[in-house]
Each structure stands twice: as structure tokens, then as C-alpha cells.
Chain A
Amino acid sequence: MRYIPNTKADKEEMLKEIGVSSFNDLLKDIPEEVMLKKTLDIPTLSEEELTEKIFKISKKNLGFRFFKPLIGAGAYRHFVPEAVKAVISREEFYTSYTPYQPEISQGNLQSMFEYQTHLSRLTGMDVIVPSIYDGASATAEATLMAIRLTHKNKVIISPLLHPHYAETVRTYTAPHQTEIHIAEYKNGLSDLKSIESAIDENTAAVIVQSPNFFGAIEDIESITRIAHKKGTLIIQVIAESLSLGLLKSPAEMDVDIIAGEAQSFGMDLNLGGPYNGYLGSKMKYIRQIPGRIAGETTDKNGRRGYVMTFRAREQDIRREKATSNICSNHALNIVAGNVYLSLLGKNGIKKIAELNIKAAHYLRTKLIETGKFSGFKYPFFNEFVLEVKDKEKIKDQLINNGFIPPFDLGIYYPELEGHMLFAVTEILTKKELDFVVNLLER
């Protein structure tokens, strides 16, 4: 087999050196009665056969490359530069292990440090954990972190937190009997009064996503004020991190903990993963934050270098007392995100965020002008909700013309049956948006 260098002769020679007469002599600890008696019934394909088989299976998918999504809902198709793909295709990045030996892992460690810097400058947070698995698990980890920090066991969740994130928080907190209170929403925004009235002395945190699941930009500053007045932490969830290029940073709004999803920073859709969840917090909370962090230090000759730091939080050292069980994460996506943000730079991140917000506002304005749609009116980034008359017709019209239809909100919000969540990113041109308006006007 081409992936195993040692031949039968090599193996025989090695067995002889080991001092046994056959391979089975090495298996003496395995009870005879449970040993497999026959070969597993799995065919062996040549590289060519394999390639053909998988390409054929892939054809059963829609040819997504040539369909432009009008859907986001936590997974955004943005343009991914080839330079990102070229870097993460380097074996030194994708075939290496966790940087436990920093002397031969400076590439990964420095890249972590740089990405922490990017995210810190975008969010203003002092501490960044550059990779939890995804936005949902990051939100769940942030919730557990707030519970540990406050020794309180109730959280208040905005109803406009991504439904998958909310479900993941439920799964993670279920063993700890955490009380989960879902607040209310009004006109597409979290209802501040319903949050305020739900906070009691057992409340660890208020969890609000902004831009929220409907795309609306929440008044995080006011929510933070309410939370802090009542002695509760605030967790801001950021599912569309590109919004950070334009919107006020969480730190400026005095947010305590952030849980984000950075898929928009150079990562393809891939049916939902692997994406790039990250966490951030104020410095004073560092000992309770889970996940790997890179820090700068020096070697004995004073040369600058990077290590994984504040390791006393982690499972391999603390076992059941660790802040989390997380070890492997989505590290390669740190490199992708780092390349992407380095390419964009200070002006690029702002411009691309502007393109998103403008294109989305253009489409909404034009669709409203047709008189066929109505919907919430709220400030939004690149997603908005409209009520449509015949959603099935719209879905067919769009797919038949090369667009992935918007998200059907009725799935998670039964009261909003007939409402759709539109997403517009920089990959849609004005011409295409005009075409969509024309199509849906009919």
C-alpha cells in the first residue's frame, strides 16, 4: 500500500529483531475470542477510481460555485483571495501539530499572536482566544466562563441570538442546571425592558448578538449599562465579524466577554464548517477564559519568540479543574484569518464592510419600492427581514435564476411564517441585485 513504506521483508526483519516469530505474537494481550476473524468488507480504490467516485458524488450537489447566495444566517459567502488558500496549503501549516514545542513552531505561534492582534484591534478586547471551534461553541464556552466568574447560574439570552448558538448553549449548560431565560424582541431588536426585568441576583450574564440573527445592529451600549447597573456580565456575540470593520467595538461599549465567528475572514462555506470561533475578554478575566493563547517572550539570548501562555487553565495540566476540555480547535483557520486581514489592512476592512452594508441597503430599498414586500425597519448591517407573499414561489424563482434563496425564518420563528432573512455581501453586483428585484417584482 502506497502510504506504508515498509515491505513484507522489512516487517519480517523487524519482527526478528524484536525477537518474535510472527506479528500475532505482538497481540497477546487481546483476548482471542474477540479478534476479528475476517477482513473488513471495505473495497480498496486506486487514486483514479477514488477521484472519479468522489467527483461523481459531488455532482449530486447543486453547482454552488455559480449560484450566488441571498442567504447568510450565520454562514456568509464572501470573496476569499487565492493568497489565503495558497498559504494554508503549505504543508508547514497544515501538516504540523499543536505548537507544544515552540522552538520549531514559531510559524504557528507568531501567526496566532498576529491574529490575536488583528482581532484585538477590531474588537478592542485585551485578551483574545483566537480559536474555539465555532461561533456556537464559543458562545457556550463564554456562558460557562461567566457562570464561573460570577458563581451565579442564570443567563438571559436575547431571542435574536443565532438559534444554533442558543441550542448549543442549552446543551453545554444542561448538566449544570443553569436557568436560561429567553428575553423578548420588538421590531427586530432585543427588547431592553424584557432584559432588564429578567435580571435578578442570580444572573451571571446577558447574552446578546449584534448584528443579531435578523441582521439588526443592537444598542449594545444601553444593554451593557443595564447589565452592569444590576451587577451582571454582558456577553456580545458577533456572528458576522466583518461588521467590526465599521461598527463600534465591543470594548468601547464596555462589553465584558465576546464570542465571535470569524468565518467571514477568508473561510469558505463548506456546508457549515470548519469555521473560526473566537473569544475575547477584559484582562481581569483571563484566568477563567478557555482555549489557547499565544504570548510574546524571549529566549536566553534575548531573541523575541512566542509561546502558548497562561497554560495553567488547560486540560492537560489541570485535568478536571481546567476551564474547559478544549485542546484541538480550528487552528489552521487562524492562519487563514490572519492572511485575510493582513491583505485587507486598515482601509480594506472598512471598505469591504461598507460595500456589504451599502449593497444590503440598496436591495432592501429597491425591494420595498416594488410594493410587494414589507418588513421590520431597524438599523442593519448586511442582513434584513422582509415579509413575502409567496415564499415557495420566490425560492423557485431565485434558484432557477442562479441565486440561493434567503433563509426561511418561519423555521425558527413560527410567528414570522412568511418572513425571509436576506443577506447581501460584496460578491453580489448591482446588476445582479437589480435582476433580483426585477425577478421578484413579477
Chain B
Amino acid sequence: MKLIYEKSKKGRHGFSLPEDQFKEINLKDCIPQYAKEEKEKELPEVSEVEVIRHFTKLSKLNYGVDDGLYPLGSCTMKYNPKVNEKLATIDSFVYAHPFADEKYIQGSLQIMYELGELLSKITAMDKFSLMPAAGAHGELTGVLMIRKYFEDRGEKRHKMLIPDSAHGTNPASSAMAGFKVVEVKSNERGGVDINELERLMDEDTAGLMLTNPNTVGLFDENILKIAKIVHSKGGLLYYDGANLNALLGIVRPGDIGFDVLHLNLHKTFSTPHGGGGPGAGVVGAKSHLVEFLPSPIVCTDDGKYFFEYPKKTIGRVRAFYANFPVLVKAYAWILSVGGEGLREVSEASIINANYILDKLKKYYRPAYDRICMHECVLTGREYKEYGVKTLDIAKRLMDYGFHPPTIYFPHFEPYAEETIMVEPTESESKETLDEFINAMIKIAKEAKTKPELLKGAPHNTPVGRLDEVKAVREPKLHA
């Protein structure tokens, strides 16, 4: 499809500008010689109707949750309720200037405060910062707090333990926070290898970052032992909330030993992913870490809401306060679902994942053949002998009208190779799952009988497989 630049025609524009009422001001007097621009900034010249048609056409090349099943593992692509979009765009929220006096933003502050309280209830943490803009941003915030906690105690701990099944963001965040990353192996049951953990956890180690359920979709059955090992050496336990969708109303991270956590409001709490953000990676802390939260946090007293600056704060991690509309959407979702509904969300998502696992395990040998939580990890190992890669299976799925699951992640040997990580969420009906299961079974058969069909897939999409090597060798990063 054409670029917007290829639709440009001299003299066209799509903007209504107010008239220049300041004729007495001479532009030449405003700009110093050293900043005068001689060149034209060659943006495209198109009318409003052409712009709208261009972007409408572009949108149709995308696939969204409203189009159908989006079973990306650890991404929790659930339905994004429409009323929440509306509530996030109420005028007095949208036009609120971040530096307006606190007395003029009491409504916004109330939403922030109450959302923090609701999240505390759901996770058993003591106080939340709503500032981080994404999950990885929340991780960085959390590990910086851990760092500051030990500095404050005069302890020098320079290592962070991270399971081999962890998201890539965990080691990347720890490295950004100046920790040396030490990998902990998974055991044959899919959890953290306890002996290995015991051996590695020492007084130079700040703690363990854990996703639970982990990325193979399993709740770590040794969680209480893990917490004990980490805490007994003075370490802290970090909870990566990417997979919280499995635990709502069932068990709370704060009740099983976690000291600090981040939640992805754009996963568990239904706010849309927006093609890769904006989301929110809010951070919750137990009381011993609250004073290290990034500043400011929202507090209340006598019916008034205000910003407060925690005493030993790690500082700011961004400008202003938060991705506010995302907070409104999460707040609205929690109140729409309610206490009972939260448990129902996790229940439905766990049943959906196990249903898929049960129906597909014959065809795609699971990484671990056990009951799972909200996602299951299958593999495409068996089809290698037919020359078919997991990638080919995923691409073929597009021809059946589905977004593929996450592939090649998690990856750790010998259990998790050629992985296909499926997270159906609570939003999907049994009928949709059956359609997906049928497509996967058909593809399994095709892999054996018509492998070429898979290797050339997808066949029905706007473009075929794209040459990623060429994109790096002959970089073209703008028109």
C-alpha cells in the first residue's frame, strides 16, 4: 500500500488553522540568526479526507482483539470494554494540565488514590505507585527500589537471581539497575530448582525476580519454600505481575512472600494494548519498601487528595504522574467486575487454557504435561522431522483467521524448545476455542502431509513473510 508521502500533492492540507491575528509581530525579530531554518520541512501535503482514507486502509491491515482470538502467551489479550474508553475521555480529565493546582484536580487524584487502594486489596500490598508507563518500566522501578533498600541498610548486594523461564525484561531491568544477573534453572516439574536456588542465594544477592504463574503457565508449587530461602538470606522477592490474570481472588502475591511487584494494567486489568502501548506498569510495595516508591504518590487526608514525596524515594522515573487515562480504564474495569467477578475472570481463563492444553497435547507435546494455570505451553518439536518449524505453524494459523500464539518463548533446554505459548484469557467462548483447536489440528496434519503449505504460509495476508535480514542489511528507516 502507498505511503502517505506517495499521496502528497502540492498545495493540499488537512488542517484548519486560526487566522494570523498578530500581523504587527515580525517573525524575523523572533528567531535568532543561529536558529534560522533555511530548509523546508518536507511533510506530505494531503487533505483531511485523504488522510482519513489512508489510515482507515492502514487499520484494515491490522488485527485487533475485536477481530477475534488473540492467544499471545503472557500478553493477556482480553476484551477492552467500550465504556472504559468513554470514561477515560471525559473532558475534565482530558484537558487537565499536570501542573494545575492540586485543588483543581481532586477528581483525578481520587481516581488514582482509589485505584491504588483497590490494587492493594487484590494483591495484598500496602501502597502503589501508578507512575511507571509499562511493565518493563515497573520492573526497573521495582528493582531500583530494592537497590535503594539495601543501600539504605548499608548492605552491598550486587546480584539478582532470575529463573531461565523469565521474560527478557527481567534480566534487562536488573542490568539497568546495576545488578549482575544470575540465572536459576527450572526443574523437571517446571518450577524453580530449589537446590539450585539454595546454592545461589547468598548475602551478596539482592533477591529473586519471579513470575508466578511462570511463563510455562505453572504456579510454582514451592513458592513458600522459595520465599523462605530468599528471605532467610536477607533478600527480597520481586513479583512480575505479567501473569496475574490467573490469580485474581484466588491467591495474593503479598500473602505468599512477595515484597514488591509490578502489574500490567494493560494485561490483567483490561486496558487496551494500543499496538504496543500506552499501558501502565504500576508498582506495589510492602510496608518496608513504601518509603522507596518513586515520587510523587497520591495520599488522602480528611477527604482531600494530594501528592506526597516518599522519604527515601528512588526519585522520578518519568515526567508528571502517570498514564492517567489507562488508570481510569483499569479502575472502571475493577468496579465493573467486582470481587466475585475477579475470581470468575481467573477461573474462566484457567479453564480455557486447560481445555486447549487437553485438546492439543496429542498434537503438540507440551513443555510440561501437567495441569496449567491461565496459559499453556505446547511445542512444535515433533514436526521438525517434516522440515516444519514452529514459525511455520504460527504463520499458517493466520490463514485460518487467527492471530498466532507467542512462539519460541519461553526458551530453555531441555524442556522448553520450539514453544507455542497459548493464553486464551477469559474473553473467549468455548466455540471460539473449538475453532482454534480444530485449526491447530488441521495444521498438525498438514505439517505431515503438505509441509510446503506451511513453509510458504501465510497465503491470505496483505503481505507474505517479510525479509528481515534485508531490512538490516539494506536499512531503510524512513522514506
Q: Are B91 and A298 in contact (CB under 8 A)?
A: no
The smallest C-beta distance from B183 to any residue of chain A, in angstroms, reads 9
Q: Are A98 and B465 in contact (CB under 8 A)?
A: no
Q: Are B46 and A90 in contact (CB under 8 A)?
A: no
Is B400 located at the chain interface by the 8 A CB criterion? no
List, in ascending order, chain A residues with CB within 8 A of B77's CB.
Answer: 97
**Which of A152-160, A227-235, A345-353, A367-375 binds B?**
A345-353
The interface size of chain A toward B, counting residues with CB under 8 Å, comes to: 203
The smallest C-beta distance from B118 to any residue of chain A, in angstroms, reads 6
List, in ascending order, chain A residues with CB within 8 A of B137's CB.
Answer: 133, 137, 326
Cα distance A350–B371 when bound, in Å?
Answer: 61
Among B8, B39, B335, B477, residue most surrounded by chain A Cβ atoms (within 10 Å)? B477
List, in ascending order, chain B residues with CB within 8 A of A343's CB.
Answer: 13-15, 46, 48, 51
Is A418 located at the chain interface by the 8 A CB criterion? no
- Picked from A43, A83, A114, the residue with its CB within 8 Å of the CB of B48 is A83
Give residues of chain B (24-51) contacting chain A, Cβ–Cβ below 8 Å.
Answer: 24-25, 27, 29-32, 34-46, 48, 51
Give residues of chain B (380-402) contacting chain A, Cβ–Cβ below 8 Å.
Answer: 394-395, 398
Q: Are B107 and A164 in contact (CB under 8 A)?
A: no
The interface size of chain B toward A, counting residues with CB under 8 Å, comes to: 203
List, in ascending order, chain B residues with CB within 8 A of A322's CB.
Answer: 168, 172, 175
Is B198 located at the chain interface by the 8 A CB criterion? no
Q: Are B250 and A114 in contact (CB under 8 A)?
A: no
Is B194 located at the chain interface by the 8 A CB criterion? no
Among B40, B85, B93, residue most surrounded by chain A Cβ atoms (within 10 Å)? B93
Q: Are B471 and A1 in contact (CB under 8 A)?
A: no
Q: Are A18 and B354 in contact (CB under 8 A)?
A: yes
Q: Are B320 and A75 in contact (CB under 8 A)?
A: yes
List, in ascending order, chain A residues with CB within 8 A of B461's CB.
Answer: 103-104
Contact string against A for B residues 120-160, beta-carbon threshold 8 Å, 1 for contact and 0 otherwise: 01100000000001111101100010010000000000000
- Picked from A30, A272, A315, A359, the residue with its CB within 8 Å of the CB of B168 is A315
**Which of B228-236, B266-274, B283-291, B438-446 binds A?**
B266-274
Contact string against A for B residues 76-91, beta-carbon threshold 8 Å, 1 for contact and 0 otherwise: 0111110101110011
Q: Are B177 and A379 in contact (CB under 8 A)?
A: no
Q: Are A134 and B133 in contact (CB under 8 A)?
A: yes
Contact string against B for A residues 14-43, beta-carbon threshold 8 Å, 1 for contact and 0 otherwise: 110111100101111111001110011111
List, in ascending order, chain B residues with CB within 8 A of A184's CB.
Answer: none
The smallest C-beta distance from A140 to any residue of chain B, in angstroms, reads 8
Cα distance A23–B320 when bound, in Å?
Answer: 44
- Picked from B61, B83, B463, B477, the residue with its CB within 8 Å of the CB of A303 is B463
Is A150 located at the chain interface by the 8 A CB criterion? no
Given A45-B335, A96-B273, A105-B63: A345 touches B13 (CB 8 Å cut-off):
yes
List, in ascending order, chain B residues with CB within 8 A of A106's CB.
Answer: 1, 58, 61-62, 462-463
Q: Are B430 and A273 in contact (CB under 8 A)?
A: no
The residue in chain A whose Cβ has the minimal distance to the Cβ of B218 is A29
List, in ascending order, chain A residues with CB within 8 A of B274's CB.
Answer: 93-94, 96, 330-332
- Picked from B8, B221, B277, the residue with its CB within 8 Å of the CB of A29 is B221
List, in ascending order, chain B residues with CB within 8 A of A26's CB.
Answer: 350-351, 354, 371, 373
Q: Are A23 and B350 in contact (CB under 8 A)?
A: yes
List, in ascending order, chain B residues with CB within 8 A of A171's CB.
Answer: 144, 294, 314-317
The smallest C-beta distance from A24 to any residue of chain B, in angstroms, reads 10
Is B348 located at the chain interface by the 8 A CB criterion? yes
Q: Are A50 and B336 in contact (CB under 8 A)?
A: yes
Is A203 located at the chain interface by the 8 A CB criterion? no
- Picked from A58, A164, A292, A349, the residue with its CB within 8 Å of the CB of B276 is A292
Q: Are B344 and A42 in contact (CB under 8 A)?
A: no
Is B428 located at the chain interface by the 8 A CB criterion? yes
The smallest C-beta distance from B295 to any residue of chain A, in angstroms, reads 9
Cα distance A14–B433 when bound, in Å?
Answer: 11
Among A18, A325, A341, residue most surrounded by chain B Cβ atoms (within 10 Å)? A325
List, in ascending order, chain B residues with CB within 8 A of A379's CB.
Answer: 30-32, 35
Is A190 located at the chain interface by the 8 A CB criterion? no
Cα distance A133–B131 when bound, in Å?
Answer: 11
The smallest C-beta distance from A63 to any residue of chain B, in angstroms, reads 6
Contact string against B for A residues 133-171, beta-carbon threshold 8 Å, 1 for contact and 0 otherwise: 111110000001000000000000000001011011011
Q: Are B4 and A14 in contact (CB under 8 A)?
A: no
Contact string against B for A residues 215-250, beta-carbon threshold 8 Å, 1 for contact and 0 otherwise: 001011110000000000000000000001111110
Given A60-B110, A95-B64, A107-B59: A346 touches B336 (CB 8 Å cut-off):
no
List, in ascending order, chain A residues with CB within 8 A of B29's CB.
Answer: 361
List, in ascending order, chain B residues with CB within 8 A of A270's CB.
Answer: 93-94, 96, 323-325
List, in ascending order, chain B residues with CB within 8 A of A304's CB.
Answer: 463
List, in ascending order, chain A residues with CB within 8 A of B79's CB.
Answer: 3
List, in ascending order, chain A residues with CB within 8 A of B404's CB.
Answer: 101
Cα distance A135–B139 when bound, in Å?
Answer: 19
Is B475 located at the chain interface by the 8 A CB criterion? yes
Given A270-B96, A300-B464, A320-B181: A95 touches B110 (CB 8 Å cut-off):
no
List, in ascending order, chain A residues with CB within 8 A of B13's CB.
Answer: 343-345, 347-348
Is B239 located at the chain interface by the 8 A CB criterion? no
Is A201 located at the chain interface by the 8 A CB criterion? no
List, in ascending order, chain B residues with CB within 8 A of A357's CB.
Answer: 27, 30-31
List, in ascending order, chain B residues with CB within 8 A of A344's CB.
Answer: 13-15, 43
List, in ascending order, chain B residues with CB within 8 A of A220's CB.
Answer: 34-35
- Identify the 5 closest CB pairs spanning chains A and B, nearest first: A272-B320, A44-B338, A175-B178, A332-B274, A272-B98
Can you name 8 A-B residue pairings with CB atoms under 8 Å? A29-B218, A59-B92, A61-B92, A98-B273, A107-B58, A121-B42, A248-B36, A318-B168
